[in-house]
Amino acid sequence: MADLAKQTSTTGVPTPPVVEATGITKRFGATVALDDVSLSVASGDVHALVGRNGAGKSTLVSVLTGLNAPDQGSVRFSGQPAPSISDREGWRRSVACVYQKLTTVPALSVAENLFLNRQTETAGPISWKRLNARAEALLAEWELDVDVRTLAGDLTVEQRQMVEIARSLSGGARFIILDEPTARLDAAGIERLFDRVRGLRAQGVTFLFISHHLNEIFELCQQVTVYRDARHIVSAPIADITHSELVTAMTGEKVSAMTDPRPPAPAPAAPILSVAGLTIADVCADVSFEVRPGEVVGLAGAGGSGKFAVAESLVGMRRPDSGTVSIGGVRQKLGSVPAALHAGIGFVPEDRHREGFVGGLSIAENLTMSVPHRLGQHGVLSPRKRTEFAWRSIDTLDVVPRDPEQPAQDLSGGNQQKVVMARALADDPRVLVLMSPTAGVDVKSKQTLMNAATEAARAKSGVLVVTDDLDDLRYCHRVVIMFRGEVVAEVSGNWDDNTVVAAMEGVDLSNG
C-alpha cells in the first residue's frame, strides 16, 4: 500500500489543478458522508474516481457542482476559490456534470435543450432559424453529429449524453464530471463515448470519470482516486497501479476474524430453483443457474449487470423474453407475481420504498399482506389472527418498535427492511429471493436480516441473495457473478473477495 499512498503531483506543469478539493468533510445528520477527503484533477486529465457504494462519490459530486456546501474544507477551480453556493452561473462556468438521470426536456428539440432559457442572446422573440444555426455551430465545434431539430426524447442514451456534454461546454465549463456514463451504454456506445472523451481531452477539456467498471478506467483515465467508507484512500497515476491493487484499495483489508456465518452445506438434492436460458433484450442474455434446498446462493454484479432484472423475472415482476424458471422441477408461468407466490416464492424487492411496503398501513397489515389465507376463510380476515401472526414476525426479526399497529412509514430504515423480510418469510417460502436485502441498514440489522435468511435455508428453503454487498455474500455457499447481462463467473467454498469484486467489475485478474 505504501507505494500507492504517495500523492501524485503535476510536476513540471505550471498550471494549477482544474479542480482542487482539500479537507472536505460533509455530514448528513449522524452520517459522515465525506471524512476529510481531497481530490486534485490536473488540467487535461481524465481522472477516475472509484469506490464502492457508500464510499462518498455522489456527495463529492454534489460538493464539486455546488449543490451542497461542505461542512469543512475548500474547493478551488484553476486556483480560484469556488463561487458562492447561490452563484449558479459561476458554478456553471466552472464545472458541469452529466448525471445518470435525465436533465433534458424530452418534448423539446435538441437545439432548444442546448440553449434552454438562453434561446436568444437578447430580450427579443426567439428566431428558430437562428437558434438552430447556433445549436448546429455548437455541435459542429465539438464534432457531434446530432440533428438539432430532433426531440430530445427521441435521442438514444448515447446521443443524450453527447448533447448534455455539448450543453456543458456551451455554458463555458471546461471541467466535466461524468457520473457513471457507461452504465446504460452498450459496448459500441462505450467505445464511441471514450473516443469522444479523448477527442475533447485533446481540445483541452478535463474530465472526472466515475465508474464501477475498472477496465474502463484503465482504458481511459490517466489518474485514479479511490474513496472507501467516506475516506480518501489513495490517488495515483493509472500507470503506477495494478488491477488487484485497485481492487484492494476499494475493498480494504479483510478482517477475517468472523466465524463462518453459513448454514451447513446442503445435502446433494434436486434443485429447488432452476433458471435456464433467461434472456431479456438489452438487459441479460442466457442466464442459467440452480439453487438446491438448504443452499444460500449469491447473485452478484455491479450496476448494469442485470442481476435485478433476473431476480425480478424469478418473482414475476418482469416477464423475460425467453428462458425457463422451474421450482421443485415444475416449470413456472412467467411474468405473474401471484403465480410466483403461489409456487412458493417469497421475495424482498429491490426498492423497499416503492415496492416493499405500504407506508400508511400498520406493521401488522404489511406483514400479512401476502398471506390472507392464513388469517381466515372466504376472504374474511381475523384481526386477532393477524395480530398473533405479526407478533411472531416481530419477535423473530426483532422489529422495533414492538407494536403491530405502528404505521410502517414511521419505522427506521433497518426496521422497515425487517418488515419487508418478514413478509417474504411469512408463507414459509420454498424459494426466497432477496434483492439488496441489507441496502442502507446498519450492521446489527444486517446480521439479523441475513440470519433470518440462513434460518430459512436451514429449514430447507433455497435462498438467492441478489446484491453487490460483499458482507451479504459471506452468508452464501456459492456466488454466481454477472457482468453486463451475462454470468461471467461462479465461486464457491472459501473464495477471495477480490476475485468476486474483480469479476463484478468485469476484470480478469489473471491478466491484471
Partner 1 sequence: MADTMTTTPRSPVKATQARRITVARLRDLALIPPIIVVAIIGYFVNSNFLTESYLTSLLADMAWIALLVIAESMVLIAGKMDLSLESTVGLAPGVAAWLTLPKGINHGLHLIPGFWAIPLALAVGVVIGAVNAFLIVTLRINAFIVTLGMLITLRGLLTGISHGQTFFGLTGSQMYLGSATILGLPASVWLVIVAFAIGIFALSRLRAGRALYAIGGNTDAAKAAGIRTDRTLALVLVLASVIAAVAGIVESGHLASVASSMGNGKIFDVFAAAVIGGISLNGGKGSLFGAFTGVLLLNMVFAVLNFAGVPSEWFQFLNGAVIVVVLIVQRVVTGQKE
- Cα 330 to Cα 272: distance, rounded to the nearest angstrom: 9
Question: How many chain residues touch partner 1 (CB under 8 A)?
Answer: 25
- Residues 14, 30, 81, 117: which binds partner 1 (CB under 8 A)? 117
- Residues 20, 112, 350, 469: which binds partner 1 (CB under 8 A)? 112
* DSSP classification of residue 356: I
* Torsion angle defined by CA atoms of residues 99, 101, 107 and 113, in that order, rounded to the nearest 10 degrees: -10
Nearest distance from C-beta of residue 361 to partner 1, angstroms: 21
Nearest distance from C-beta of residue 47 to partner 1, angstroms: 23
Element (H, E) at 405: none
Grid cell 478535463 is found at: 206
Tell me the CA end-to-end span of the chain in Å, nearest whole number.
17
- Residues 5, 102, 137, 269: which binds partner 1 (CB under 8 A)? 102
Residue 466: strand pairing partners? 299, 435
Spell 335-362 as b/e; 16+ CB within 10 A means b: eeeeebbebbbbbbbbebeeebbeeeeb
Nearest distance from C-beta of residue 149 to partner 1, angstroms: 5
**Hey, which residues between 374 and 403 contact partner 1 (CB under 8 A)?**
none
- Residues 121, 143, 154, 229: which binds partner 1 (CB under 8 A)? 154
- Residues 89, 191, 428, 508: which binds partner 1 (CB under 8 A)? 89
Q: Select from 118-126, 290-298, 320-328, 476-484 the region that touches partner 1 (CB under 8 A).
A: 118-126
- Residues 14, 86, 145, 379: which binds partner 1 (CB under 8 A)? 145
Nearer to partner 1, 108 or 183 (CB): 108
- Kindly report the number of other CB atoms within 10 A of residue 422's CB atom: 25
Nearer to partner 1, 88 or 385 (CB): 88
Nearer to partner 1, 170 or 454 (CB): 170
> Is residue 125 involved in binding partner 1 (CB under 8 A)?
yes
- Cα 294 to Cα 373: distance, rounded to the nearest angstrom: 26
Contact present, 175 and 18 (Cβ < 8 Å): yes
- Cα 446 to Cα 439: distance, rounded to the nearest angstrom: 9
> Is residue 143 involved in binding partner 1 (CB under 8 A)?
no
Three cell numbers, residue 221: 483515465
Contact present, 195 and 46 (Cβ < 8 Å): no
Nearer to partner 1, 148 or 287 (CB): 148
> Is residue 105 involved in binding partner 1 (CB under 8 A)?
yes
Residues that bind partner 1 (CB under 8 A): 88-89, 101-108, 112-113, 116-120, 125-126, 145, 147, 149-151, 154
